[in-house]
Amino acid sequence: MERFIMKDLIKWKNRKDRKPLVIKGVRQCGKTYILKQFGEENYEDTAYFNFEGNPALAARFEQDLDPKRIIMELGVLIGRKINQHKTLIIFDEIQFCNAALTSLKYFYEQTPEYHIVCAGSLIGITLSKPLSFPVGKVDFLTLRPMSFPEFIIANDEEMLFEYIRNLNTQDQIPQMFADKLITLYKTYLITGGMPEVVAKWKETEDISEVERIQDVILNAYELDFAKHAPVSDIPKLSLIWKSIPDQLSKESGKFVYGHVKPGARAKDLEDALQWLINAGMVYKVLKIEKPAMPLSAYSDPSYFKLYMADTGLLRRMSRLPASSIYKDSALYTEFKGAMTENFVLNELINLHGEVPFYWKSGNTAEVDFIVQLEERIFPIEVKASTNVKSRSLGVYREKYKPEISIRSSLMNFKMDEGLLNIPLYLIWNIEKFVNS
């Protein structure tokens, strides 16, 4: 399956100032697979090393951090020579060996001719701890669950993707194409973007098989709490994690600590919440009261919404039947807005890795997302269907007079006095549309 990060990996390979590369990303998003594919397609050889449960490998870094000795001994471990420039060295689950993390500094300073990439399902947790991490001596990339355009391609719709990628806001999408895109969009809400889930859907088109894989992933996340989190935080992590669907389904969507556990306050749960954020499992979207640059300066850290990194896992955790999404069941109406917002958020974060904000003015109006694209700020109102009435966006527009306001819904392209409707299945291309 095609992943857009491959282009960034090739750029890294060709850079003259290349440093060891660390790939961050939530568990099961495809880090190991993409690195092995990258090695197979761009190097003569790939030397793969996994630190999880491998003391013999970790021992290679205990004597000292001399990169030439380490390279020689790693070659002995795999039974072949590791060549400069020709071999891609993969350190997987590197967070299990602090010395290996530290060694990246010396690989960069003393043997930059070796190409080293590292991955770890909880590398964000590792980086948040006070370890001897080689700050400034490594490059970073983040791999997330498959985006919607990657999902389109994975479903053998490359020509459809090329067609919509070149659309402009002056175009009208023919209904037969719009119908196919809406079906793909609804399927994506069900499966999400975890590569194993998408592969199982493509192989079987069996929702029960999809949900079986999703349950395996969700169980693995819970096991990560027990294996890697501070003991005192484990019950809190589980409670926060399981409360997300319910919190999003509330009318305001605001995260309330007391809804996690009666009587709980921020100081009781904020460390556990930060663990989930560092692990890449959730996104924290802060409220702002004024759309001015930088947006972060006008945010309120105590008022936020919590979304998940994958819409498919959100749906599965909520136990929402797939048929409710395909049929637009009335019983799904209240949760539909939360699912749609989570989808749009994930696509926005895929643009540049930045989490947007949302705007709220007292109890009178609320706009789902506020994004900054270069030097321009755009409000984005998310609508789950073709019912696009929005008093809140009207209040925002009246107050701040934005150059362009965005509404994302299942409607076709439409520009109406500065209000641009972008179909939900095209929100990933927002940068092109606001500049066309």
Q: Convert the pLDDT of each residue in 242-256 to its tens digit.
A: 999 999 988 778 999
> Domain 5-142 adopts which CATH fold?
Rossmann fold (3.40.50)
Checking if the pLDDT of 134 tops 80, the result is: no
Q: Convert the pLDDT of each residue in 323-340 to its tens digit.
A: 999 987 777 777 899 999
- What pTM value is reported for the model? 0.94
Tell me if 34 sits within 8 A of 3, measured CB to CB: yes
Neighbours of 58 (CB within 10 A): 17
pLDDT score for 135: 76
Tell me if 377 sits within 8 A of 370, measured CB to CB: yes
Averaged over 373-397, what is the pLDDT?
90
| DSSP alpha helix (H) spans, 292-381 | 311-318, 322-327, 333-352
CA of 303: how far to CAs of 115, 166, 309, 362, in Å? Answer: 43, 38, 20, 12
Q: Encode 134-168: b = buried (16+ Cβ within 10 Å), e = exposed.
A: beeebbebbbbbbbbbbbbbbbebeebbeebeebe
Place 84 in a pLDDT band, splitting at 50, 70 and 90.
very high
Checking if the pLDDT of 130 tops 60, the result is: no
Residue reference for tokens 């021992």:
59
Residue reference for tokens 């989570």:
342
For residue 355, the SS3 value is: coil
Neighbours of 379 (CB within 10 A): 23
Q: Convert the pLDDT of each residue in 227-245 to its tens digit.
A: 888 899 999 999 999 999 9
Taking the C-alpha atoms of residue 191 and residue 348, their distance in angstroms, rounded to an integer, is: 19
DSSP state letter for 154? H
Domain parsing of the chain, residue ranges: 5-142, 148-434
Q: Which two tokens stand for residue 32?
A: 């190991």
DSSP state letter for 146? P
Of 55, 196, 30, 27, the residue nearest 123 (C-alpha): 27
Of 277, 282, 276, 284, the residue nearest 234 (C-alpha): 276
For residue 54, the SS3 value is: coil
Place 131 in a pLDDT band, splitting at 50, 70 and 90.
low
